[in-house]
Chain A
Amino acid sequence: MKNNKTGMTLIVKTITRLTVGLILLYGIYIVLHGHISPGGGFAGGVIIALSFIHLMLAFGRETALKKLSQTAASVLESLGALMFLAIALLGFLGGYLFFNFFLHKGKPFDLFSAGIIPLCNIAISLKVGAGLFAIFAALILFKGSGKEE
């Protein structure tokens, strides 16, 4: 990442480079442990989106959009939504919409337990992260092309 004129000062950029990976990792942790500890798909998804927004604020919009373009975000969002719907529809295997179709629910407190809940968490986090990033990118990009600046 070159230190061109976009974005904030060198200090902010350096700190961002160190922390943004950690924030992303923390978001993923929260998502994956949603069924055994506080958090879950929604909070984790927002944290993931925040990590990209952090990147965008510090380095300017080009750098962040290179990592995750706006169209890619839209596609990811639709995919997340479809995945969630697909999980719901798979419940028809057991006879009902949203049926928890894992007969064996796994040992409590394990990462791989609780049937559909972790899968739903992942789908939601994908959707929320990509969606919020898309909203934010749209607002920022619009500001850039607006008349008053």
Chain B
Amino acid sequence: MELQLLLLFMIFAAVVAVEVEDLLSSVIAVGAVGLGLSLVFLILKAPDLAITQLVVEILCLIILIRATIKKDLPLLRDGRWLFNTTSTLVFIALFLIFAYFALKELPGFGQPIMRVAKEYINNGLEKTGATNIVASIILDFRGYDTLGEATILFTAVMGVLAVIRSVGRIKDEK
């Protein structure tokens, strides 16, 4: 039950983040969504994720606040606002209805099949020696994924450093 309550809180905070007019408040509200997510991870028995989500959320907040501080917020609506919003909402509603019927075919909440995961739980300790099964998966069984993940972060750093250069082109002499 507390799970649903937390989810409702997150949805509420997300709506606030989307609709509030002040940018700084909006960023703070999205921080609330992230911290709610961290709590949900804790309830869902994922302590690794809870820690990571918490620290990442703090970092994201700092970055976003640095970006937004002292910046303007335009508040405009163009002529086709109603039409566009309606079509977006119709699309989203169709998506949700389709999803509702499709989700019925999934195994119910709280009963995962765990076809492959059984292997990790039963033999993880003997085969890798790590007592944290999640660590044994990300760094041993699926270490190649983690290499990709580290590369993504590296790519992003390189990308930020490339984008932030103040002079991109060497100007011609003419």
Q: Which residues of A contact B (CB under 8 A)?
A: 30, 34-43, 46-47, 49-50, 53, 57, 74, 77-78, 80-81, 84-85, 88, 97-98, 100, 102, 105-106, 108-109, 113-117, 120-121, 124, 127-128, 131-132, 134-136, 138-140, 142-143, 145
Contact = CB atoms under 8 A, between A and B. Distances in A.
A78 B150 CA distance: 11
Interface residues of B, number: 41
A39 B48 contact: yes
A146 to B, nearest CB: 9
Given A120-B139, A127-B154, A136-B63, A114 B129 contact: yes
A84 B147 contact: yes
Contact of A139 (B129, B132, B144, B160): B160
Contacts of B127: 100
Contacts, number: 142
A109 B131 contact: yes
15 contacts: A40-B135, A46-B52, A47-B55, A49-B59, A74-B161, A81-B154, A98-B144, A108-B129, A109-B131, A121-B139, A127-B150, A134-B160, A135-B63, A138-B164, A142-B166
Contacts of B154: 77-78, 81, 127, 131
Interface of B: 47-48, 50-52, 55-56, 58-59, 62-63, 66-67, 125, 127-132, 134-136, 138-140, 143-144, 146-147, 149-151, 153-154, 156-157, 160-161, 164, 166
B153 A98 contact: no
Given A120-B139, A134-B157, 16 more contacts: A34-B135, A36-B132, A37-B132, A40-B48, A40-B52, A43-B51, A46-B52, A47-B55, A50-B55, A57-B62, A88-B147, A117-B135, A117-B136, A117-B140, A128-B153, A143-B66
- Residue of B55, B151, B160 ringed by the most chain A CB atoms within 10 A: B55
B166 to A, nearest CB: 7
Contacts of B51: 30, 38-39, 43
Contact of A46 (B56, B67, B134, B146): B56
B123 to A, nearest CB: 12
B20 to A, nearest CB: 24
Nearest to B166: A145
A36 B131 contact: yes
Contacts of A38: 47-48, 50-51, 132, 134
Given A46-B56, A134-B157, A135-B160, A115 B63 contact: no
